[in-house]
């Protein structure tokens, strides 16, 4: 019986054999970007609905609204980041 071994080293490094969990800073960044992520998911949902048919007027409005929500969420995130960098309070 022969042993099977990997020819390459691992791509990611495990610390002491334990999977690495996200740090508090990474979780905070995800939480900060969550409105943008959720708005993007809503936009994708609206677009997926129209993949197998011609979009109706209602579908087009739904996509436009979802797109505006994505842009608004991105704008809000950018404004928050700019305020945090400049140190100016609201």
Does residue 9 surpass a pLDDT of 80? no
Q: What is the pLDDT of residue 5?
A: 67
Give the residue among 35, 29, 43, 44 at the shortest CA–CA distance from 75.
35
* Number of residues that this document lists for the chain: 90
Q: For 11-65, what is each residue's pLDDT tens digit?
A: 665 556 567 888 999 999 999 999 999 999 999 999 999 999 999 999 999 999 9
Spell out the domain ranges in the chain.
24-85
Which band of pLDDT confidence, cut at 50, 70 and 90, is reported for residue 6?
A: low
Q: What is the pLDDT of residue 35?
A: 96
How far, CA to CA in Å, does 21 sit from each of 15, 51, 84? 10, 37, 26
């Amino acid at each position: 019986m022969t042993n099977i071994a990997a020819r390459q080293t691992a791509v990611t490094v495990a610390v002491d054999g334990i999977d690495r969990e996200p740090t508090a800073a990474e979780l905070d960044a995800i939480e900060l970007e969550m409105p943008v992520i959720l708005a993007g998911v809503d936009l994708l949902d609206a677009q997926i609905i129209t993949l197998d048919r011609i979009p109706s007027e209602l579908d087009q409005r739904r996509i436009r609204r979802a797109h505006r929500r994505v842009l608004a969420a991105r704008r809000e995130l950018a404004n928050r980041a700019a305020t945090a960098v400049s140190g100016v309070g609201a």
